């Protein structure tokens, strides 16, 4: 699940100043008043292929169906696991029977299923990439090669070489004028946009400190059953394994890191961190992380991530400036941002609050993407996705290794969890193995390598 979809367990589903990079304009062909960049059709239906049929992917299809401006139809699906594909298909067929046309010949299962699903699309259509992050660069690269528009869920890569691969594909997607949306839906939240605009306009002075929190109940995985295929087991419990999802600090907290860097208007240049594991059922992760990021001007960003039972919980973001402070979010489904004239976040110090319920950012991000496709407007969030992913990875690297990590070190790291991810099968050697009790060893700061 995505951060928001997981929070839907508790709530509901899922521009650094908007940065899309240089986009080269493609020649647009027009017929019957419809503009589609690279393709012309009297039928203005945008067709979707879903790659990754878990909660994220299924929810993304529903969000795409919420848009206006023209018909949208799901025509192909792909997943590693047939049971997950069929469950997702049943779900969307039940809710949207007139928007789903996925006959058996367009249902694909296996490690190469993504290719077959993408091959079902035309230029102007969209592939939804919603598998776990280990496979995102591979799938995005192929979609860009095929000239297909993309919506890809976060997180985006599990280590630095994979992030560089994603960035290379992002640059190519810009050259091809492809439209790319990513799963940072909070960038499309009107409430967050408004409070951050006010911060950029000087409402609380110069930013000197940012705080972001995702602390809630545990993210545990069962012990490996005797005789189970380890790769299948680890993929099915992906959020607890670094090589599959990047781990929950990257897979979930990347949302908050991205928003904090949007507030600051920069990416951090250094990170140091601490973490550990109190509960052995957290896969091969820590169950708590604290990261101190430093920006080039000395501004600090403190990131807190803890997943344990019976502890204080919050999911919130804050900013502190020389003239006051700001709540960016205190509630996932309705962030309710506020500004204060001091560091005391109390009613008597409040100077502004967002006056109404927020839009649904999951629907808004899809509306922006499909409008850009239909009107051939530049829209490409892939470069920023790679940069935000690296910022979050830098914090995880610092926690797992116990080292002070710079942006340059993080970007240039050659550490890879699975160097031959393109060739992975269920018969491959597992990247990690459980002990005799079915448990996995956590990182060991001072010894573990990620840089």
Closest among 123, 141, 126 to 49, alpha carbons compared: 126
**pLDDT for the residue 27:** 30
Q: How far apart are CA 293 and CA 316, in angstroms?
A: 17
Q: Mean of the pLDDT values across residues 143-159? A: 98
Q: Mean of the pLDDT values across residues 390-394? A: 98
Share of the chain above pLDDT 90, in %: 86
Q: Mean of the pLDDT values across residues 54-67? A: 97
| Residues 193-208 pLDDT 10s | 999 999 999 999 999 9
Closest among 168, 348, 186 to 253, alpha carbons compared: 186
Query: How does DSSP assign 290-358, residue by residue?
Result: EEEEE-TTS-EEEEEEEE-TTS--EEEEEEEESS-EEEEESSSSS---EEESSS--SGGGEEEE--SPP
Phi-psi region of 66 (alpha: psi -120 to 50; beta: other; left: phi over 0): alpha
Q: Are 445 and 402 in contact (CB under 8 A)?
A: yes
3-state secondary structure of 253: helix
Q: Mean of the pLDDT values across residues 346-370? A: 97
Q: Which CATH class is domain 3-186+363-381?
A: alpha beta
Q: Mean of the pLDDT values across residues 49-69? A: 98
171-180, 277-286, 361-370, range with the lowest pLDDT: 277-286
Q: Mean of the pLDDT values across residues 38-66? A: 87
**pLDDT for the residue 429:** 95
Q: Mean of the pLDDT values across residues 406-422? A: 96
Name the CATH topology of 190-360+391-423. Answer: Dihydrodipicolinate Reductase; domain 2 (3.30.360)
Assess whether pLDDT exceeds 70 at residue 274: yes
pLDDT band at 36 (very low <50, low <70, confident <90, very high): very low
- Average pLDDT of the residues of the chain: 91
Q: Mean of the pLDDT values across residues 152-167? A: 98
Q: Mean of the pLDDT values across residues 181-190? A: 97
Assess whether pLDDT exceeds 80 at residue 35: no
Q: Tell me which of 21 and 402 has the higher pLDDT.
A: 402
Q: Mean of the pLDDT values across residues 29-56? A: 67
Question: Can you read off the two tokens belonging to residue 137?
Answer: 């660069």
| Residues 217-273 pLDDT 10s | 988 888 999 999 999 999 999 989 999 999 999 999 999 999 999 999 999 999 999
pLDDT band at 43 (very low <50, low <70, confident <90, very high): confident
3-state secondary structure of 59: helix
Assess whether pLDDT exceeds 80 at residue 8: no
Assess whether pLDDT exceeds 50 at residue 343: yes
| Cis bond upstream, residue 155 (ω within 30) | yes
Domain extent listing, the chain: 3-186+363-381, 190-360+391-423
Q: Tell me which of 12 and 143 has the higher pLDDT.
A: 143
Closest among 114, 187, 225, 159 to 379, alpha carbons compared: 187
| Residues 96-128 pLDDT 10s | 999 999 999 999 999 999 999 999 999 999 999
Q: How far apart are CA 68 and CA 436, in angstroms?
A: 54
**pLDDT for the residue 30:** 33
Assess whether pLDDT exceeds 70 at residue 379: yes
pLDDT band at 12 (very low <50, low <70, confident <90, very high): very low
pLDDT band at 358 (very low <50, low <70, confident <90, very high): very high
**pLDDT for the residue 21:** 35
pTM of the model: 0.90
Assess whether pLDDT exceeds 60 at residue 5: no
**pLDDT for the residue 363:** 98
**pLDDT for the residue 1:** 41
Assess whether pLDDT exceeds 50 at residue 9: no
């Amino acid at each position: 699940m995505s951060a928001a979809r997981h929070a839907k367990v508790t709530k509901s589903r899922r521009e650094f100043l908007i940065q899309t990079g240089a986009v080269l304009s493609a020649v647009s062909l027009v017929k019957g008043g419809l503009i589609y960049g690279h393709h012309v059709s009297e039928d203005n239906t945008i067709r979707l292929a879903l790659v990754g049929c878990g909660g994220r992917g299924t929810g993304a299809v529903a969000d795409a169906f919420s848009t206006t401006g023209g018909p949208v139809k799901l025509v192909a699906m792909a997943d590693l696991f047939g049971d997950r594909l069929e469950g997702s298909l049943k779900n969307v067929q039940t809710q949207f029977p007139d928007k789903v046309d996925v006959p058996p010949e367009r249902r694909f299962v296996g490690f190469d299923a993504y290719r077959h699903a993408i091959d079902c699309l035309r230029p102007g259509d969209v592939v939804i990439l919603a598998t776990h992050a280990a496979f995102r660069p591979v799938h995005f690269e192929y979609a860009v090669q095929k000239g297909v528009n993309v919506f890809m869920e976060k997180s985006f890569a599990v280590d630095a070489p994979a992030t560089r691969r994603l960035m290379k594909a992002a640059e190519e997607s810009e050259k091809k004028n492809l439209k790319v949306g990513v799963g940072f839906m909070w960038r499309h939240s009107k409430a967050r946009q408004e409070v951050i605009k006010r911060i950029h306009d000087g409402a609380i002075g110069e930013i000197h400190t940012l705080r972001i929190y995702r602390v809630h109940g545990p993210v545990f995985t069962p012990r490996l059953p005797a005789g189970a295929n380890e790769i299948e087991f680890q993929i099915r419990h992906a959020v607890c394994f670094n090589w599959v999802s990047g781990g929950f600090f990257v897979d979930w907290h990347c949302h908050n890191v991205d928003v904090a860097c949007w507030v600051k208007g920069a990416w951090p240049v250094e990170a140091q961190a601490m973490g550990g594991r109190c509960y052995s059922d957290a896969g091969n992760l820590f169950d708590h992380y604290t990261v101190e990021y430093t920006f080039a001007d000395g501004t600090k960003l403190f990131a807190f991530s803890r997943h344990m039972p019976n502890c204080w919980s919050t999911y919130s973001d804050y900013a502190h400036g020389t003239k006051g402070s700001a709540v960016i979010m205190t509630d996932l489904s309705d962030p309710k941002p506020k500004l204060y004239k001091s560091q005391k976040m109390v009613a008597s110090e409040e100077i502004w609050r967002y006056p109404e319920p927020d839009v649904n950012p999951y629907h808004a991000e899809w509306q922006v993407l499909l409008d850009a496709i239909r009107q051939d407007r530049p829209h490409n969030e892939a470069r920023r996705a790679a940069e935000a992913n690296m910022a979050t990875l830098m914090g995880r690297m610092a926690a797992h290794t116990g080292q002070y990590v710079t942006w340059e070190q993080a970007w240039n790291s050659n550490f890879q969890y699975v160097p031959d991810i393109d060739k992975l099968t269920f018969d491959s050697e597992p990247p990690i193995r459980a002990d005799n009790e079915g448990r996995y060893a956590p990182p060991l700061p001072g010894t573990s390598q990620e840089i």
